[in-house]
Amino acid sequence: MDIAIPDRRAFLSLARDAAASFLPSAWGTNAVPGGAEGPNGTLGHAVGNVPLSARPPDKRVRVAIVGGGVAGLSAAWELRRQGVEDFVVYELESRAGGNAAAFAPRAAGFPSRAPLGAHYVTMANEESTDLRMLYRELGIITSHENAQEPAYEPTYCCYDLNSRVLADGVWEKGLLPLSRLTPAERAELERFESLMDDMKGRVGRDGKPWFALPTRLSSTDGEAWALDSETFDAFLRRQGFQGEAVHWYARYCCRDDFGTEPSELSAWVGVHYFAARRGRARNIQNTTILTWPEGNAWIVEKMRASVANRVRTDHAVVYLNETSAGIGLGVFDAVRGRMEVVMADRVIVAAPSSVFAKLVPSRSRDEAPFVWHPERLCPWMVANVVVASHGVESDGGRTGARSVGGKGVSLAWDNVPYGGRSLGYVVAAHQMPVARPRDHLLTLYEPFSALPSRVARARWQNSSDRDVKTYVLDELERMHPGIVSSVRRVDTWFWPHAMPQPGPGSMTALWKHNAALALTEARKGSRIFHAHSDRSGLSLFEEAHDWGTTQARVCAKGLD
């Protein structure tokens, strides 16, 4: 008679799983306010699908910049530096900043804006002169007397504690739960670190570093670029790394910066993450990142404010029309709902490669842009969660008091679940002059790198606001059981095409393409410039800034 017992057990455990997955959503997800939003897809998809207007131009401008993200604003910044003041920046979203934008959360009284994307930059390498100049102009670098080790503004450098990681219910300092790893895993991590330190020091035969940030400054040495022919995962295995910890760490970093699984990422890019940041500081520990409560939107806002009267948000450039008199731009004013025609001498298209291809369709084969296929554009979710501070604060070591926040080391800037689905969350108040805020703003990040991008986009679009909120709260519940009752608001933002996924070979292809394009442009004296991090394949502030700056410089030179 006992034979049927296993059936019962099997069923019970199924029912139990169902109950367990029910728990968080039943704890009042519905009652939590907030919304699910994303970039303006309707307007974005209208680009290139609007017929040319025969109207005479409504206005003239020397330079039109299409796109008010980091590349566009960097281009504007550089144009002013070059003495060009007659330009306009068109941004189709209602806020500038692109992937580095921020918004004001509607929760009462929170003193910071909330990031919708990029959250930090790093200390600039010595050869990254444009970036360093920007840092000086923004007051991020306070003293440049010592070129190797400039002084950085301490309030912009990440406060202690930089990161903590959750494993087996205990928070531990750092990105890896070292105390829980086997000696073999720890030894492997040390070997990995020293391998990456070695990569940091590599210099090519052309005298340039193997890995530079922006990538444009990297060596063209074939030995370095051989790494582009394999995946990062293959590279790690070829180097004999077997342990879970190294692979998890590598995967975490690859997802964080490139939205890509190591098994699909160019090894050159993977190593670049660890080896390209050589910036040092005189007054701060070298590895410290630079961050602000609102993320990189702080930099964006400084750049935007300096040209505020020349930035038109809610303005979509829907076509470009090259004529002998100049370049006609069809600009759709989404607020007033009307088209205007603008004639410009030069246009800097600071928009993704797909937008550039739509705006500048024809031209010869060697001028055709390198367009990232939608399948190679990783979608991201960024969730801003307002939570009563007692929901995440733990008390620290002394009493071992058991609070909802959890056990182990207390709240850090970056809070990572080891082996988690998401990348964890960043705490806005951490970088503010506040010791104990009543509410915390957590920004939870998740790239959908493990799914085909098409599938992730479709799933998200078919999800209700409630599904989305449950999805976010489930992840937070896993990190802080019981947190749901302290959550006041959840605002999710979905980037359907957040960043390119540079697979093996793509960096070499981009490099060749960019070199060829630069040659033809120089020969013909181009009037349209493409400035976007898509041209580097790495969706990083430093790349966008570099393209904006260098293209603006070429553009300004042509105007003389």
Residues that bind other proteins (CB under 8 A): 1-2, 4-5, 7-9, 11-13, 15-16, 18-20, 22-23, 26-28, 111, 154-155, 157-161, 168-170, 284-285, 288, 388-390, 393-403, 406-407, 410-412, 430, 432-439, 477-478, 481-482
Closest C-alpha to 306, from 34, 525, 87 = 87
- Give the sign of the dihedral formed by CA 424, CA 430, CA 435, CA 438: negative
For residue 161, say if its preceding peptide bond is cis, omega within 30 degrees of 0.
yes
423, 352 Cβ separation under 8 angstroms? no
112 versus 219: smaller Cβ distance to other proteins: 112
Which residue's CB is nearer to other proteins, number 202 or number 390? 390
The least distance separating other proteins from the CB of residue 167, rounded to whole angstroms, comes to 9
- Least distance (Å) between residue 389 CB and other proteins: 7
Least CB distance to other proteins at residue 483 (A) = 11
Nearer residue to other proteins within complex by CB, 180 or 191:
180
Smallest separation (angstroms) from other proteins to the CB of 244? 16
Write down the least CB distance from residue 42 to other proteins, Å. 38
Amino acid present at 274: F
| Identity of residue 455 | V
Cβ 413 to other proteins shortest distance, Å: 9
179 vs 194: CA distance, rounded Å: 20
In the complex with other proteins, which residue's Cβ is closer, 9 or 60?
9
9 DSSP 8-state letter: H
Helices (H), 89-146: 129-137
Q: Whole-number minimum distance, CB 75 to other proteins, in Å?
A: 32
List beta partners, residue 377: 500
Angle, helices 465-479/5-26, rounded to nearest 10 degrees:
110
Give the E-state strand segments of 419-486 in sequence order: 424-427, 439-447
Whichever of 170 and 196 has its CB closer to other proteins, that residue is 170
We find the least distance from the C-beta atom of residue 473 to other proteins, in angstroms, to be 14
Residue 144 in tokens: 């440049």
Q: Supply the minimum distance, in Å, between the C-beta of residue 348 and other proteins.
A: 37
* Residue of 318, 359, 311 whose CA lies nearest to 340: 318
Beta strands in 350-454 (DSSP E): 377-388, 407-408, 414-417, 424-427, 439-447
CB-nearer residue toward other proteins: 231 or 394: 394
104 exposure class (CB count in 10 Å sphere: 0-12, 13-18, 19+): exposed
- Cα atoms found within 13 Å of the Cα of residue 408, Cβ hemisphere only: 21
Measured from the CB atom, the residue of 376 and 440 that comes closer to other proteins is 440
- Considering beta carbons, is residue 4 or 54 the nearer one to other proteins? 4
User: Cis omega (within 30 of 0) on the bond before 214?
Assistant: yes
Amino acid at 96: A
Grouping H, G, I as helix, E, B as strand and the rest as coil, residue 269 is helix
Which is nearer to other proteins, 171 or 252 (by Cβ)?
171
Nearest distance, CB of residue 2 and other proteins, angstroms: 6
Q: Considering the complex, state which of residue 208 and residue 248 has its C-beta at the smaller distance from other proteins.
A: 248
Contact 320, 329 (CB under 8 A): yes
Tokens read off for 119: 């959250």
Residue 307 DSSP symbol:
T
CB of 158 closer than 8 Å to CB of 413: yes
Closest distance to other proteins from the beta carbon of 432 (Å): 8
Q: Residue 312 or 430: which CB sits closer to other proteins? A: 430
CA-to-CA distance for 72 and 501, rounded, in angstroms?
Answer: 22
What is the smallest separation between the CB atom of 442 and other proteins, expressed in angstroms? Answer: 14
Q: How many CA atoms lie within 13 A of 76 on its CB side?
A: 32
Contact call for residues 494 and 520 (beta carbons, < 8 A): no
The secondary structure of residue 125, as a DSSP letter, is P
Nearer to other proteins, 8 or 338 (CB): 8
